[in-house]
Structure 1
Amino acid sequence: MLPARLRLALIALSLCAVAAVLGATLASRAGNANETRGLELSKDGWAGAVRPPTQRVPDFTLKDQDGKTVTSASLKGRPVVYAFVYSTCEDTCPAQVQTIKGAIDDADRKDVRVVGISVDPVNDNPKRAASFLLKQGMTGRMEFLLGTREQLQPVWDAFAIQPQQDNLEHSAHTILADASGRQRIGFPYDFMTQEALAHDLGRL
């Protein structure tokens, strides 16, 4: 049998080791919690604004920058990021698209499609749309859908988007839709961060 003093010393060392492991575990959990707490999440755990459950992606048939026909039906089956942009924009639209690009890379979601929808049909054309994608490093990663005002108006209305006007800036919103074609989460430009968008893409 070990002497009493030696037994006490061993017990003390064991307790110290347990305390150290417990402390490291709690610190790690606290760190992870702090990362999540860095985002303001809804009670359902989303960083963006939760859209009404009945709000769906509208039916549409539009052409992209390469003249290819894209329909809402062809986009179903995988999550879609919808961005409302225009090709001659020099501030909010490029920043919006770069945030989306970074978030998709962070979330490592190769299954997500990115679709830009024109909010300036008068000035957006295939050449300008393709140039915009090239400048943003999104050629092959994003489709820029074009159309007339008559074709685009029902899409804007369904997503609650104000198009670009001479005296009024467009709604620079990013909207996440799930694989079934339901609008799930919305991000106004001023409240969208790469971290928040990546978080919600990871949950979508």
Structure 2
Amino acid sequence: MLPARLQLALIALTLCAVAAVAGVLLAQRTHLENTSSLQLTNGWAGAQRPDHQPVPAFTLRDQDGKTVTSASLRGKPVVFAFIYSTCRDTCPAQVQTIRGALDDFPGSADKVRVIGISVDPANDTPKRAQSFLLKQQMTGRMQFLLGSRAQLKPVWDAFAIQPQSKALEHSAHTVLADADGVQRVGFPFDHLTGEGLVHDLERLAP
């Protein structure tokens, strides 16, 4: 007969193993429940973009003055968010949803690029862009691209984005492009969820 101390140790190990298995099963169940609750169209949570619509060619600078081109983004899926640095409601909420999706997407730092594109060039300065990213805890996880209206307008047009103005609120869209630089799906602000983003990112960067 095993000593009492050894019996207790074996019981403790068994309970730990059972708890670990239960945790894995619960996580799998939660993932399946989240996925099943999504309204999918052709397997996508987001709205499909026009077929073969490319990311437009551009050369812009980010909040730190680093040059970013559309060609330099090839090779990984890209999350494009159209934002401005002085926004107090939709943009912070949009970026926090993206941040949450990255936290829930294993290996996102190596698999996905996140790019914010200014929709208010008159007021988006490098300092304000840096402050925005810091406040949203996205420094190092997201680049905020800036430029003149003339530089940004072709990008807005290619993504069908309305920029910010005194008369009109900007299009707070999030667009996912694949590793080949093709726009695949988009999320209007009122349809953007972390679960939806993770689902579609898993399709683009399994």
Deviant stretches of 4+, over 6 Å: 29-32
Query: What is the correspondence of 1:177-196 to structure 2 with a 5 Å cutoff?
Result: 177-196=177-196
How much has 1:34 moved relative to structure 2? 4.1
How much has 1:36 moved relative to structure 2? 2.6
How much has 1:41 moved relative to structure 2? 0.5
For 2:136 and 2:29, the matched residues in 1 are separated by: 37
Matching residue's letter, 2:151: Q
How much has 1:32 moved relative to structure 2? 6.6
Cα root mean square deviation, aligned? 1.7
TM-score by length of 1: 0.83
Larger Rg: 1
**Structure 1: gaps spanning 5 or more residues:** 1-28
Partner of residue 45, structure 2: 47
For 2:202 and 2:188, the matched residues in 1 are separated by: 19
Partner of residue 14, structure 2: none
The structure-2 alpha-carbon separation of the partners of 1:149 and 1:195, relative to structure 1 and needing over 3 Å to count, comes to same
**Structure 2: gaps spanning 5 or more residues:** 1-27
Q: Is 1:36 equivalent to 2:51 in the alignment?
A: no
Matching residue's letter, 2:192: M
The structure-2 alpha-carbon separation of the partners of 1:32 and 1:132, relative to structure 1 and needing over 3 Å to count, comes to closer
The structure 2 residue matched to 1:103, chosen from 82, 101, 106, is 101
> Between Structure 1 and Structure 2, how many residues are aligned?
176
For 2:56 and 2:105, the matched residues in 1 are separated by: 26
Deviations 1:6-37 (A, max 9, x none): xxxxxxxxxxxxxxxxxxxxxxx997754432
Identical counterparts, % of pairs: 70
TM-score by length of 2: 0.82
How much has 1:52 moved relative to structure 2? 1.5
How much has 1:98 moved relative to structure 2? 0.5
The structure-2 alpha-carbon separation of the partners of 1:31 and 1:130, relative to structure 1 and needing over 3 Å to count, comes to closer
